[in-house]
Amino acid sequence: MSFFIRGGYDTIRKQVLNISLKPTAIWHNGMVLVNKSMVVCTLHPHNVNTLELVNYNDTATLLLNNSIIYENRKLFTYKINLTVTDDSLILNDRSLDKVMDCEYINFTDIKKHNTDRYLN
């Protein structure tokens, strides 16, 4: 059994949802999907997996543990697909709190990273 968690830009709230997955044994395999089906990376349950949407050179950029995994000129949403280790586990609000932390940030407050490029 698997379940999805949706993160990224929320057009109604004008907020960005950043997700941090804690190390756990509840799930054993995970992946991040963008544009409905494009897999941009895999997730490992024994690591802390922090997904952040930031502005980088006027581009919406998705970071996994501070490494760029996807970027687009337009704001986007992403899905996290986690495969559960035991189908008998009941996923509710309390068990999800053991697995992840979520943080809503106003769009105007998201991190902006700028780089200057120089020619030698």
Tell me if 114 is assigned to some domain: no
Q: Is residue 110 within 8 Å of 16, Cβ to Cβ?
A: yes
User: Does 94 fall in a domain?
Assistant: yes
How many domains would you assign to the chain?
1
Give the pLDDT confidence of 6-44 residue by residue, as tens digits: 888 888 888 999 999 999 888 888 999 998 778 888 898
The residue segments making up the domain with residue 70 are 2-109
Question: Rounded to whole angstroms, what are the CA distances from 3 to 30, 82, 85?
Answer: 10, 6, 12
| 120: in domain | no
Residue predicted with more confidence, 108 or 78: 78
Alpha helices (H) along the chain: 93-99
Is 72 among the domain residues? yes
**What are 66-92's pLDDT values in tens digits?**
889 999 999 899 999 988 877 656 666
pLDDT value at 119 more than 50:
no
The pLDDT of residue 13 is 87
